[in-house]
Amino acid sequence: MILRRTSLFIVLLLLCSSVLYTSVSAQTEHNNRSTDSVLTAYLTDIAIAALTTELNVLTGSVTASDTHELSAYYESAIQQQIAQATTRRSALLADEIIYGNYNLQLTVTEVQVDGTVAVVYASEYTAISIENAKIDPLYPATTEYIDEHTFRFEFMDGAWFLIEDQVRMPPMSKLIQNLVR
């Protein structure tokens, strides 16, 4: 009888601990997902701010980038893109092409975090209006492009910093398909 009660008690104890473990595991997984989504949103904000700054240079609305609150987290990573955007803007102006408003959409496809390094894979869609009456009337009113980005972040001094923004080139077969269309 005592052996039976002890066995029953052990079975109930194991059952309760299993249920408790499952509940704690589910809560931990929920907390991790919540933390991951907050981190993904924050890293995405920094990436969008960097791309917006580059577009502001290209379109001539640089005052918006000068005061952006996240600029300290991406400035050093995009210096080369800013220089290229400045050169591109000068070339466009020489051809009497003026870029105006733009629509930027960034879609994150994957986030990998390993300690103090995070890599964000994202697809950028940008449409920029062309606001110049001196160009050919058959010229399109907007220009659009899609770029695949790999953003690399590092966690330093208690914050995440964008270290690199690399545009991934599509495979050659995809480039050829686009040219044939």
> Can you give the residue range of the structural domain that contains 53?
34-180
Amino acid at 179: L
Residue 17 lies in a domain: no
Residue 28 lies in a domain: no
Residue 8 lies in a domain: no
Residue 15 lies in a domain: no
Total of domains in the chain: 1
Question: How many other C-beta atoms lie within 10 A of the C-beta of residue 57?
Answer: 20
Q: What is the pLDDT of residues 129-181, one digit of tens each?
A: 988 756 677 778 888 999 999 999 999 999 999 999 999 876 665 555 555 55
**Exposure of 162 by Cβ count < 10 A (0-12 exposed, 13-18 middle, 19+ buried)?**
buried
Residue 14 lies in a domain: no
Residue 46 lies in a domain: yes
Q: Which of 49, 6, 7 is nearest to 162 (CA)?
A: 49
Residue 6 lies in a domain: no
Residue 11 lies in a domain: no
Q: What is the pLDDT of residues 4-29, one digit of tens each?
A: 555 544 444 444 444 444 444 444 44
Q: What is the pLDDT of residues 80-115, one digit of tens each?
A: 888 898 899 889 888 888 888 999 999 999 999 999
Amino acid at 99: Y
Q: What is the CATH number of the domain that holds 145?
A: 3.10.450
